[in-house]
Structure 1
Amino acid sequence: MIDLRRLLVLLAMSATILATEGRAQVTIDEEEEIISALLDKTVPVEKCPINQQVYSALDGEYQKFQFLTGTAGGTVQFSEYRNGKLAWTAAGEFGCSNGVVICGIDLTVKAGEAISVGYEEFRTLDGEQYIVFSHLRETAFRRELNGVGGEGLKVELKNGFKPTADDVLIPVNVYRYSNCKK
């Protein structure tokens, strides 16, 4: 059975993608993600291994966050999609003391300086799981501003993406669990 709330959220996501990118339709990948969620094939976060959990940004920017390796420490990746295609990825490392008591990530800005920020995982009363990075966007922007220019994180550009002089390649601070990557 399709959850009406989920349907409305997915329709809003599609509308946001289209409106912010000035496109007439979503891509096949976006369509498949929406259809998969509508058919309720998403694995609950508690049944998804940490290195298969995919988190999506909430603020209209089409960004994703993933733990790639490890459970209490390992590698992470941020990614951003533009015009329906992967534009860039940024790699980093995460670690937690005493299992999962205090957790943080380490990333590098374009100027070569390392930044470290803490993060918290929490679940709402209705079961949605979030990851909130403490001042990640602000810290990366401030460090880069004092570096060589406003280019944001050290990233790997994908699919021929070329940032403009005004582009600041920085992840957002809040992500919500969206699916379990197979």
Structure 2
Amino acid sequence: MPSEPTEVQVRPGVEDDLEALTTLYNHYVRETAITFDTAIFTPEERRPWLLSHPEDGPYRLKVAVDPDSQEILGYATSSPFRMKPAYVTSVETTVYVAPHAGRRGVGTLLYKALFETLSGEDLHRAYAGIAQPNEASARLHERFGFRYVGTYREVGRKFGRYWDVAWYEKDLA
């Protein structure tokens, strides 16, 4: 008799996750326009990114882990929206799910954990930029209360073509 699938666990990201997180992100760099990075990263190049998301404060990293294999199935972050001081109460959020883990609710679990963690922070708005087309990401963000605010047309060039980015915002206050 097959065993019941174990629930995906969500926890803060830690330094031991760096290699797996880098591999996951590099998939999206190489294969998609979801990120506008165009060159893959080494784990050492990604270390400052990981360290910029501590376990407390407004900039967080949550990872979804298969409890049986300990494989990282995805991650979500909140990061500075812009570097100028007046933007300090705004964050940009993002979620990446391993290609084979899609349609399992991993993104939903990650955003739920991320926004629960952020609820005690001095934050006013969350923003998300979604390279178009990406209906699955738009639906996920709308489920979490994000609303569409506009599109930057042909703002990024990757794979020899231009891509639009739709922007969404969520009230955190």
Structure number with greater CO (CA < 8 Å, separation at least 6) is 1
- The answer to which structure has the higher helix fraction is 2
Q: Which TM-score band applies after superposition, normalised by the shorter structure?
A: 0.3 to 0.5
TM-score, normalisation: structure 1 = 0.32
